[in-house]
Amino acid sequence: MSAASAGSLALADGLAVNRMGYGAMQLAGPNVFGPPKDRDEAVRVVRTAVERGVNCIDTSDFYGPHVTNEIVKEALGARTEGVRVFTKVGALRGENGSWIPDLTPASLKEQVHSNLKTLGLDVIDVVYLRLPNHDGTTDDPISEEFGALAELRQEGLIKHLGLSGASGTQLTEAQRIAPVVAVQNLYNLVNRQDDALVERCARENIAFASFFPLGGFTPIQSDTLGRVAARVEASPQQVALAWLLQRSATSVVIPGTSKVAHLEENIAAAELTLPADAIAELDAIGDQTLRRTETTMPSTTASSPSMTS
């Protein structure tokens, strides 16, 4: 079993990642706040991920806060060769665990320095600008915010830049300032509003990293998914991950877990190739969801308080 079975992406000079990654968010306590119940197990999860070929770890200093970064630092130790760390800035945590968007240029720079400190790194491979509208993107200008990170890239504290919760318009705006190697948006079998952006990222060799690939706080539930999983002799979660990996050539998945057994189940999805008839059935899930959403709900740009990626 190896994460490398899903293939790899060369996104820029010196930046190649296996498409099966790992998201560290669940290493923190409940609601991504405070320490984990079992820190030793959390450390084992990260180490096992790397042993199984994961070389793309997604984290952030606002997970915990500081918790997941410190666990990643402890788990990797001196074994950072070939492992690419992706982190995000754009939010802070309140004392009650609340999520507080903070995208002022000065704060963004402070957040990068905090990530460097808690990860124990001199330079971060990829930093995402996390925008606040994760459940429905906007076209609000982002030049000032993205420009602040581009300045740190020029200073050598960041190697590459990404966007999280971004629209196609914002991607174009950011590209005028500095190269964008990755986009991280909400996308999975039942949340496919970003189909066009997924396809654009594939054309432009930009990684599209789906957060909440298994549904996040509301796990994906579908009779069709269950039937396909039974037919291909895999779990529904593995099928959902395999569908994402086959969705486009630059799709990256970063499923998170705090258990080694669950981690290994996720990584096994890297070796699962879905037949064409299964893909067609699974595509229909998203088509039905989109039609139902367009019929019953107006578009929204409000930020969800529970969206934590």
**Catalytic site residues?**
63
Hey, which residues does 137 pair with through a beta bridge? none
DSSP secondary structure code for residue 33 in this structure? B
Measured distance CA(92)–CA(101) in Å, rounded: 6
CA distances from 191 to 42, 194, 256, 301 (A): 29, 8, 18, 15
What is the dihedral sign for C-alpha 39, 41, 47, 50?
negative
% helix, strand, coil for the chain, step of 5: 45, 20, 35
Count of C-beta atoms within a 10 Å radius of residue 44 = 17
- Tokens representing 227 are 């039937």
